Amino acid sequence: MTFKTTDLSDANPEVQVGEPMWRHFGGVTIFSGPIETLQVFEDNALVRTILEEPGEGHVLVVDGGGSLRCALLGDQLAALGVKNGWAGVVIHGCVRDTEDLAHMPLGILALAPHPRRSIKRGQGIRGGTLHLAGLTLKPGAHLYADADGVIVSDHTL
């Protein structure tokens, strides 16, 4: 997959452009796909549940409330994402096992690394509209990410 968010943004001025707040942690820095959404807080049980499902090239966007107190994704969950065909995971929160994540064929964006694991209660909301980084993220919209940032379109570009 080859594209530049800069070129896509120039050619499609209607796209949403995200504020620069995420860092790349995955082995893939250029990724895109239809969005799946999840809202949780310091609980990654539903992240696991979703990544166990067929990803079919989708991008899971997780609103973790911006918590910097624990990680919502580590090497085991990322491996599930790879195995099940997810294109990427974008987390408004933290990740762990960053050395391992950097070698996985998965796009991973998050705020920061953190060594602590999350709780596992299975609480959260799947499939809603999220508002992160100046973006409105709806299931089925398309996310494009590369080294220059994140853009979102209502349709495939």
Per-10-residue mean pLDDT, the chain, length 157: 94 97 98 98 98 98 98 98 98 98 98 97 97 97 98 97
The answer to pTM > 0.85 is yes
Whole-angstrom Cα distance, residue 104 to residue 102?
A: 6
Q: Is residue 101 within 8 Å of 78, Cβ to Cβ?
A: yes
Instruction: Please tell me the total count of domains within the chain.
Output: 1
Q: What is the pLDDT of residue 111?
A: 98
Separation in Å, CA 70 to CA 56, 80, 96, 112: 28, 20, 9, 10
Domain assignment of residue 33, given as a range: 5-153
Give the CATH number for residue 20: 3.50.30.40
Q: What is the pLDDT of residue 90?
A: 98
